[in-house]
């Protein structure tokens, strides 16, 4: 429970991960590169004072200390991301989340994952997992390297999501997951070297070799494909499944395309990807646009932990004020809106007991 200026807020963190990117779990070289990019962005956003081993592998102790024991977060939604081609035991699989939920009962809401590389055969058993683990949502990663891609217009996908909704997982997360994309203000430039020094080169004897040959296989592996999908396919899918709530990442589409989906009443936006830059003009424009299009009743708070610890984001969002030059163009951001975004909307979507659901905050978006 979080208290600010005499007001009490119940907070639901809509995006938390329990991952293992430590060296013993990396499928070299691609897993190593992904983990390196992940740690680089973590240092940019919230890496001050966090030991490297805690950023690489989330433990029960660090999760309790950083998320719950601070007194800011009451519930957390665990988002799975397997990345089986990059990590030997999986990056953030559902099985780990289920174990964590057993160790700390009453703290988490669990989601499953529909892996795009599995296609329709990979969806077998998904409804059974929804019932077994009491899943409230399904994470749909529509694009996955190296070859996996799942178009949203497939007829079988609509049938699978409808059966999952009947079993209890009636929230679908699209474009929600850990991102290793650089921060907006950074450019992809090489690190400067002192004059007269050349960049070190890996010796040939250290090159990994293909089995049965002497050809080196070291290469620059690409990052995880950025989130993105066809808005027209999502519009059709959301219209065909009105009983399903679709939660989109704030960075999964350009701002105009994302706001154009606001006319669909069952589409929500998770603010994880823009919250670390509160205080900047870019955030004010992006947040104001989403608030104007979706209203406070369809925006969700998320930290992306362990990428960013939630305490700072909760404090800054509760105290946020639009810049004077934009305040006349942005909706009101008052106590009712803060209460809805921090936890009320998520409590309603995920059917979380013990938290006041935001039934209506239309006045906040007026």
User: Which tens digit of pLDDT belongs to each residue from 313-356?
Assistant: 999 999 999 999 988 888 899 999 999 999 999 999 999 987 65
User: Which tens digit of pLDDT belongs to each residue from 139-155?
Assistant: 987 655 545 567 888 89
Question: Can you read off the two tokens belonging to residue 268?
Answer: 């929500």
Q: How far apart are CA 152 and CA 318, in angstroms?
A: 35
Q: Is 360's pLDDT higher than 50? A: no
How, if at all, do strands 299-300 and 267-270 pair?
parallel
- Confidence category of residue 70, pLDDT binned at 50, 70, 90: confident
| Mean pLDDT, the chain, integer | 81
- The verdict on residue 206 lying in a domain is no
- The verdict on residue 215 lying in a domain is no
CATH (domain of 260):
3.20.20.140
What are residue 138's phi and psi, to 5 degrees?
-130, 125
Supply the pLDDT for residue 341.
96
Question: Can you read off the two tokens belonging to residue 286?
Answer: 């992006």
Q: What is the mean pLDDT of residues 264-284?
A: 92
**Coil/strand/helix, residue 114:** strand
Report the Cα 174 to chain-centroid distance in Å: 9
- The verdict on residue 105 lying in a domain is yes
Question: Can you read off the two tokens belonging to residue 324?
Answer: 């004077």
Alpha carbons within 13 A on the beta-carbon side of 213? 4
- The verdict on residue 341 lying in a domain is yes
Q: Is 219's pLDDT higher than 70? A: no
Are the beta carbons of 21 and 38 closer than 8 angstroms?
yes
Q: Which residues contact 266 (CB under 8 A, 6 or more apart)?
A: 238, 241, 242, 243, 244, 245, 246
Report the percent of the chain where pLDDT is more than 70: 80
User: Which tens digit of pLDDT belongs to each residue from 131-140?
Assistant: 999 999 999 8
- The verdict on residue 263 lying in a domain is yes
Per this entry, what is the length of the chain?
Answer: 366
Domains identified in the chain, total number: 1
- The verdict on residue 187 lying in a domain is no
Supply the pLDDT for residue 81.
86
The sign of the dihedral angle between the CA atoms of 303, 182, 249, 317 is positive
User: What does the CA dihedral 56, 61, 65, 67 come to, rounded to 10 degrees?
Assistant: 70
Supply the pLDDT for residue 120.
80
- Confidence category of residue 175, pLDDT binned at 50, 70, 90: confident
Are the beta carbons of 283 and 272 closer than 8 angstroms?
no
Q: How far apart are CA 2 and CA 86, in angstroms?
A: 38
> Which of 12-21, 250-259, 315-324 shows the lowest mean pLDDT across its residues?
250-259
- The verdict on residue 262 lying in a domain is yes
- The verdict on residue 212 lying in a domain is no
What's the Rg (C-alpha) of the chain?
21
Q: Is 227's pLDDT higher than 70? A: no
What range defines the domain where residue 65 resides? 2-182+220-365
């Amino acid at each position: 429970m979080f208290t600010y200026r005499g007001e009490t807020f119940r907070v639901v963190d809509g995006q938390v991960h329990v991952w293992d990117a430590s060296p013993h779990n990396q499928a070299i070289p691609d897993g190593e590169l992904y983990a390196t990019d992940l740690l680089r962005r973590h240092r940019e956003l919230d890496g001050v004072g966090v030991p490297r081993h805690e950023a690489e592998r989330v433990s029960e102790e660090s999760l309790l200390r950083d998320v719950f024991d601070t007194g800011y977060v009451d519930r957390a939604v665990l988002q799975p991301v397997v990345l089986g081609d990059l990590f030997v035991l999986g990056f953030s699989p559902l099985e780990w989340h289920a174990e964590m939920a057993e160790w700390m009962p009453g703290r988490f809401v669990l989601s499953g994952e529909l892996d795009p590389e599995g296609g329709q055969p990979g969806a077998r058993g998904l409804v059974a997992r929804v019932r077994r683990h009491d899943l409230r949502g399904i994470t749909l990663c529509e694009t996955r390297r190296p070859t996996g891609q799942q178009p949203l217009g497939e007829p079988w996908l609509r049938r699978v999501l409808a059966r999952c909704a009947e079993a209890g997982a009636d929230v679908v997360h699209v474009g929600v997951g850990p991102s290793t994309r650089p921060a907006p203000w950074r450019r992809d430039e090489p690190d400067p070297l002192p004059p007269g020094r050349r960049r070190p080169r890996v010796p040939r004897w250290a090159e990994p070799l293909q089995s049965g040959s002497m050809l080196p296989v070291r290469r620059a592996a690409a990052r995880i494909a950025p989130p993105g999908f066809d808005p027209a396919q999502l519009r059709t899918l959301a219209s065909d499944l009105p009983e399903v709530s679709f939660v989109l990442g704030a960075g999964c589409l350009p701002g105009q395309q994302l706001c154009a989906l606001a006319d669909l009443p069952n589409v929500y936006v998770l603010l994880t990807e823009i919250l670390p830059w509160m205080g900047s003009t870019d955030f004010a424009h992006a947040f104001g646009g989403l608030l104007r299009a979706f209203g406070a009743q369809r925006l969700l708070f998320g930290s992306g932990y362990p990428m960013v610890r939630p305490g700072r984001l909760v404090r800054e969002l509760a105290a946020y004020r639009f810049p004077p030059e934009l305040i006349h163009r942005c909706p009101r951001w008052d106590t009712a809106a803060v209460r809805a975004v921090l936890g009320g909307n998520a409590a309603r979507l995920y059917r979380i007991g013990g938290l006041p659901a935001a039934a209506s905050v239309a006045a906040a978006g007026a």
